[in-house]
Chain A
Amino acid sequence: MVYENPDGVKIGLEVHVQLNRLNTKLFCGCSTDYHNDEPNTHVCPVCLGLPGSLPVINERAVEFAIKIGLALNCEIVEQTQFHRKNYYYPDLPKGFQTTQYDYPIASRGKIVIEGEDGERVIRVTRAHMEEDPGRLQHIGTIEKSKGTLINYNRSGMTLIEIVSEPDMRSPKEARRYLDKLRSILDYLDVFNGDLEGAMRVDANVSVFNGERVEVKNISSFKGAERALLYEIMRQKNHVRRGGKIVLETRHFDEARGVTISMRTKEEEHDYRYFPEPDLVPMRVADRVPGILRALPELPDAKRERFISQYGIADMHARALTTEIKVANFYEEVASQVDAKAAAVWVADILKGELNYRDIGIDAFTVEDIVAVIGLVKDDKITEQSGVQIIRTVLDEGGRPQDIVVSKGLLKVEDDIVAKAVEEAVAESPEAVADYLAGKEKSLNFIVGKVMQKTKGRADARETRERVLARINK
């Protein structure tokens, strides 16, 4: 079935990724590990833009950027070239941002996503490097603020901006693109997506081949989907009422879920780009083959390998390969127990429980899941008990072997209860007859007998049901 895109929606995304796995900032030696520290403690003359300071390129940052470019199937530039983007803002200590302009580090790549109607290729226009500005913190609300504080800890962090062509046709496809991009970046180990501001999204949206509108200030993937849904609806309604969509920049108000106009084209900045005289071009072409060789197996390749190597379903392979940690976890499990069973247990059950609790795979050990799968496979416990063990480990702690005992989950125990029910019914013909005659209370006698025989290990309610089932047989 072909997706017809009835509203002619075109979405392009610009994603800023903060390469926070680098040890130091883009142009100075300041530590990137500032997230838990006091404001303005990770700063130096360079990232504060003090007079006379000069930038020096972080070579590792360039290598990270090349790695990302290659993972997105991009062409890599021969040598780096940085430009100055001139504009005034208090979070920008030099009055310009050092960024890349007509020679981005990477260009013309692609990301394959699961689109509305099957696999879809989203073209990546370019990926370029730039420095992050500082952060403003308003005292009180932005309208009634008594003042603004500036924290330059973030100033000079390495950003890579990944720009796509407007190849997405729905907010869902945009979301899939973001998820896939994050998955690839996760594999490359270039950033920690959990840190604040690690990924920031701007979107370009148009409908019916109209002018595009840029939506800024999207801080989460969920936010991106909401912002796009709202903006598409707004544009459609506007056109339906006879309005015309103009080239403009809008701001997403996360709290209200709406986009608000910031500026139209006439008010666009003239950034007066020119080559940064303080940085000399760095030849990178020679480094590319080495970085390419060292590139890890990426999500799509891993998914295909999982399907062929482990014989698991595409749906499972997809779920297992989104995060590198989960993929590695699975492979360790699969090396010890049946791979297909492992896929079900890790992809469906364990991931479901982890997602429900909003925690990562680190919260569970390979050893424990192998133990649970083993118990089920050896028919010692039911699948339901296996799930119960996983929940117990996550919520209360403990080892599966102990939980099986403490919760009395072994199937052997089931047999004891069944035997006790059988005996108790056989030993109490009068009570059975009374019950069948309508004396409900006489059932308690039989249940009590079962409890005696099992030394209280049987569940009273469950026993009652079993006795009933036996009598009514």
Chain B
Amino acid sequence: MASWKDISGVKQQIAASSAEEVTASYLETIEKSRINGFVSVWDRALEAAREIDAGGHKGPLAGVPVAIKDNISTTGLSTTCSSKILQGYVPPYDAHVIEKLKAAGAVILGKTNMDEFAMGTSTESSHYGPTLNPWDTERVPGGSSGGSAAVVAAGEAPVSLGSDTGGSVRCPAAFCGVVGLKPTYGVVSRFGLISYANSLEQIGPMATTVTDIAILMDVIGGYDSRDSTSINRKNTYSDALKDDVKGLKIGVPEEYFGEGIEKDVEKAVWDSIGKYEDMGASWKKVSMPHTKYALASYYIIAMSEASSNLARFDGTRYGFRAEEGENWHTMASKTRAQGFGSEVKRRILLGTYALSAGYHDKYYLKALKVRTLVKQDFDRAFTDVDVLMAPTMPTPAFKIGEKIDDPLSLYLADVNTVPINLAGVPSISVPCGFSGGMPVGLQIIGKPFDENTILRAAYSFEQNTGHHKVRPREVA
């Protein structure tokens, strides 16, 4: 029986029983799950919960179960990026965020399904098969953090962590009707996050409420000397939880309502903006002229970085190894040919091409220049407004198999999420209505390091609407 509790609900339940009982009930739910959200369950979860009970842990997440995307390193718990090439790899160390979660008393439930190496928008490219959307099991949960979104939507975990390189937290949050935050680049340490495109990605929390997002950010955010891109800047995210948007200036970028946007999605977003107006905010249209180039720039940069980041998977030290070839190069080639799925191969090849002599300037260097222009669009817009609002995804969740053979149409679905990663700014997706019975996400984008303004806007919206309270029909 799924429970759909938020952190405070879980803590009440622990107070009434025990962390062990709560964890056990989640494990039971996971056991019966039909959505394929988890790829592994931590065999020490119950033990960890018992230790919390025994030690009288007072941490902010004492006994709270958390689901973790399968690209975040966990000591003693296999971490595979949902790829065959990392089968059997068990990290000898915890990611920074895992250390923080454990210190706060959280109980790691297990690892969640994802697009292989976070390359995708649907969680269909996983070696473990697709995760099903709890709202409609014929549909995708979004991606790449599809497992992390779906298990929260299905009540298999109260909260989870995902990672967002080009929308991988916000897209599945929108498709599964939960809340997901992509923090400013540098706010959450990437130490232990298996890189797909390092200059773009951040670990981000997913939950059923904005309050839980803030609680998780208070735990996982902050400086880490092991990540050179980590920013030393103190912030208390839960301070932002105020129902007050009076005077908030909203910018609505017209380029985010372009070709391919579904009518009901557009309507839900405009209704939400209207709601903000009722609540005391004002809005105006803004123009972000380089948005149309963002997608190309994003894919070139991400694929280029990926081609290098994924070079280490050669079967030599860990993970899957193809049967020995006649020499090391043959073995490594076979390992990579058999270990990577087709989307990963496609991106490695395209990235290798984009960085090659003779093409480097034409593609990679040009993409970097476009990235600067995209960032300038944001800088310009934010001189005038406090936040930007747009649809997270142009459509609701599509059917499983509908787009998987057409990579380009899948890439196009990221049109509203990738500019945010190019600019490095924070963005949150909150449920804002439905289209054909499927959830729609409202994307609220903030200035660099101004998570608190978008959290306040999202929290106020939640307090004044009921979208986040609607649950999918029971799937467990």
A278 to B91 alpha-carbon distance, docked (Å): 20
Given A86-B311, A94-B312, A95-B311, residue A278 in contact with residue B226 (CB < 8 A): no
Given A51-B73, A54-B191, A272-B355, residue A277 in contact with residue B199 (CB < 8 A): yes
B13 part of interface (Cβ distance < 8 Å):
no
Contacts of B192 in A (CB 8 A): 52-53
Q: Is the CB of B314 within 8 A of A95?
A: yes
- Closest A residue to B324 by beta carbon equals A147
A48 part of interface (Cβ distance < 8 Å):
yes
Could you tell me which residues of chain A, from 125 to 159, have a CB within 8 Å of some CB in chain B? 148, 150
Instruction: Identify which of B123-131, B356-364, B387-395 touches chain A.
Output: B356-364
A270 part of interface (Cβ distance < 8 Å):
yes
Q: Is the CB of A86 within 8 A of B191?
A: no
Contacts of A54 in B (CB 8 A): 190-191, 226-228
A245 part of interface (Cβ distance < 8 Å):
no
Q: Is the CB of A279 within 8 A of B228?
A: yes
Could you tell me which residues of chain A, from 84 to 104, have a CB within 8 Å of some CB in chain B? 84, 86, 88, 90, 93-96
Contacts of B308 in A (CB 8 A): 84, 86, 95-96, 272, 274
- Closest B residue to A89 by beta carbon equals B328
User: What's the dominant secondary structure at chain B's contact region?
Assistant: loop
Q: A51-B89, A56-B226 are in contact. List 5 more A-B contacts (CB 8 A).
A: A48-B317, A50-B318, A51-B73, A51-B313, A277-B229
- Closest A residue to B193 by beta carbon equals A52
Contacts of B328 in A (CB 8 A): 90, 148
Q: Is the CB of A50 within 8 A of B91?
A: yes
Q: Is the CB of A93 within 8 A of B228?
A: no
Q: How many Å from the CB of B332 to the closest CB on chain A?
A: 6
A8 part of interface (Cβ distance < 8 Å):
no
A54 to B316 alpha-carbon distance, docked (Å): 20
B199-228 near A? 1/0 per residue, CB < 8 Å: 100000000000000000000000001111
B285 part of interface (Cβ distance < 8 Å):
no
Q: Is the CB of B91 within 8 A of A52?
A: yes
Q: Is the CB of A88 within 8 A of B91?
A: no
Q: Is the CB of B193 within 8 A of A272?
A: no
Q: Is the CB of B312 within 8 A of A51?
A: yes
Q: How many Å from the CB of A25 to the closest CB on chain B?
A: 14
B95 part of interface (Cβ distance < 8 Å):
yes
Contacts of B360 in A (CB 8 A): 272, 274
Q: How many Å from the CB of B71 to the closest CB on chain A?
A: 8
Q: Is the CB of A278 within 8 A of B86?
A: no
Could you tell me which residues of chain B, from 374 to 407, have a CB within 8 Å of some CB in chain A? none
Q: Is the CB of B228 within 8 A of A86?
A: no
Q: How many Å from the CB of A93 to the closest CB on chain B?
A: 6
A90 to B335 alpha-carbon distance, docked (Å): 13
Q: How many Å from the CB of B324 to the closest CB on chain A?
A: 10
Q: Is the CB of A278 within 8 A of B318?
A: no
Q: Is the CB of A93 within 8 A of B312?
A: yes
Some 5 contacts from A to B, beta carbons below 8 A apart, are A53-B191, A54-B190, A88-B329, A95-B313, A274-B308
A45 part of interface (Cβ distance < 8 Å):
yes
Contacts of B71 in A (CB 8 A): 52
Could you tell me which residues of chain A, from 276 to 290, have a CB within 8 Å of some CB in chain B? 277-280
